[in-house]
Every structure is written in structure tokens, then in C-alpha cells.
């Protein structure tokens, strides 16, 4: 891996997937005992990102009225 003139590197895809690093994710570099660690910051938008990752994957198509009837126990 090479560092660009601007000091940039590409984080390998398998590492990004494992850490959940997506575009606009915030990361920190931590230096400790001569080593540098990359850590994903836990941000206030992490719940929103998790929701967005799940958006559109429901396999059952129901109307709002059908969902409300299920949650209320209507028969």
C-alpha cells in the first residue's frame, strides 16, 4: 500500500466491511508504542446509518392498515 502525495491511503474493502466504514464515516488514528491503529469513531449518526443499511430489504409487502391491525391485535 502506498501513501499519496496528500497523505492518503486506501483502506482495503475487507477491513472497511468488517469495521462498518462507509463513505462519510469518521475515523481516528491512534499511536501507541510505535504502532498506529485505525479506529472507527462512534458518532451520533451511527443509528441512522444502521437504519439506512436495512432500508428496503423487507420481503413482506403490507399496507399501513394491515401492519396497524397486526400491532393492535385487530381481527
pLDDT reading at 46 higher than 70: no
* Mean pLDDT score, 53-71: 82
State if pTM tops 0.85. Answer: no
Contacts 24+ apart (CB under 8 A), 18-25: 20/49, 22/49
CA dist 22 and 15 (Å) reads 11
Number of other residues whose CB lies within 10 A of the CB of residue 21: 16
In this prediction, residue 47 carries a pLDDT of 65
Amino acid at each position: 500500500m502506498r501513501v499519496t502525495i496528500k497523505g492518503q491511503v486506501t483502506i482495503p474493502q475487507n477491513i472497511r466491511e468488517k469495521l462498518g466504514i462507509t463513505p462519510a464515516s469518521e475515523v481516528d488514528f491512534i499511536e501507541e508504542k510505535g504502532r498506529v491503529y485505525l479506529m472507527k469513531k462512534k458518532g451520533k449518526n451511527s443509528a441512522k446509518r444502521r437504519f439506512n443499511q436495512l432500508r428496503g430489504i423487507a420481503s413482506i409487502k403490507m399496507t399501513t392498515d394491515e401492519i396497524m391491525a397486526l400491532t393492535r391485535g385487530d381481527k
